[in-house]
Structure 1
Amino acid sequence: MHKKKLVSLLSLGALAITLLSGCSNIENWELSMRSKTGALPLTVSTYDSNGQKIDQIKAKSVDIHTDKKMSQKDSSGNEKSSVIDVDYGHNRMIHVGSTLIAYEGLKNYEDEFNKHVNINDQNKAVPLLNTMYQNFKNDWNGDAKVVMIRSQLGMPIAVFTGKNVSIHKSDMKNATQFVIDGHRLVAYRADYTIYPIASLKK
Structure 2
Amino acid sequence: MKLKKKLSLIFGLLILVLTLTSCSKFENWELSMRSKIGALPLTVSTYDSNGQKIDQITAKSVDIHTDKKMSQQDDKGKENSSVIDVDYGNNRMIHVGSTLIAYEGLKNYQDAFSKHVNINNQNHSVPILNTMYQNFKNDWVGDSKVVMIRSQLGMPVAAFAGKHVSIHKSDMKNATQFVIDGHRLFVYRADYTIYPIASLKK
The normalised TM-score by structure 2 is 0.97
Alpha-carbon distance in 2 for matches of 1:138, 1:6? 40
Aligned twin of 2:48: 48
Query: Any idea what SS the aligned residue of 1:102 has?
Result: strand
Alpha-carbon distance in 2 for matches of 1:84, 1:120? 33
After the TM superposition, which residues 162-181 of structure 1 pair with which residues of structure 2 at under 5 Å, given as runs? 162-181=162-181
After the TM superposition, which residues 35-184 of structure 1 pair with which residues of structure 2 at under 5 Å, given as runs? 35-184=35-184
Alpha-carbon distance in 2 for matches of 1:94, 1:3? 60
Which letter maps to 1:58?
T
Which letter maps to 1:43?
T
* 1:12 CA drift (Å): 2.2
Query: Identity percentage over the alignment?
Result: 80
Query: Any idea what SS the aligned residue of 1:21 has?
Result: helix
Alpha-carbon distance in 1 for matches of 2:5, 2:200? 42
* 1:55 CA drift (Å): 0.4
Query: Any idea what SS the aligned residue of 2:76 has?
Result: coil
Q: After superposition, what is the alpha-carbon deviation per residue over 1:86-105, rounded to whole angstroms, capped at 9, x for unaligned?
A: 00000000000110000000
Q: After superposition, what is the alpha-carbon deviation per residue over 1:124-170, rounded to whole angstroms, capped at 9, x for unaligned?
A: 11111111111111111121001000000000000000010000000
Tell me, which stretches of 5 or more residues in structure 1 are unaligned? none
* 1:9 CA drift (Å): 3.0
Alpha-carbon distance in 2 for matches of 1:119, 1:72? 40
**Greater displacement, 2-11 / 169-178:** 2-11
Alpha-carbon distance in 1 for matches of 2:57, 2:139? 26
Tell me, which stretches of 5 or more residues in structure 2 are unaligned? none
Q: After superposition, what is the alpha-carbon deviation per residue over 1:36-87, rounded to whole angstroms, capped at 9, x for unaligned?
A: 0100000000001111100000000000000111111111111000000000
Alpha-carbon distance in 1 for matches of 2:120, 2:11? 56
Query: Any idea what SS the aligned residue of 1:149 has?
Result: strand
1:12 aligns with 2:12: yes
Query: Any idea what SS the aligned residue of 2:18 has?
Result: helix
* 1:5 CA drift (Å): 4.0
Aligned twin of 1:193: 193
Query: Any idea what SS the aligned residue of 1:105 has?
Result: coil
Alpha-carbon distance in 2 for matches of 1:7, 1:120? 57
RMSD: 1.0
Alpha-carbon distance in 2 for matches of 1:53, 1:4? 58
**Greater displacement, 122-131 / 188-197:** 122-131
Which letter maps to 2:16?
A
Alpha-carbon distance in 2 for matches of 1:180, 1:22? 15
Report the count of equivalent residues: 202
Q: After superposition, what is the alpha-carbon deviation per residue over 1:161-196, rounded to whole angstroms, capped at 9, x for unaligned?
A: 001000000000000000000000000000000001
Alpha-carbon distance in 2 for matches of 1:157, 1:120? 14
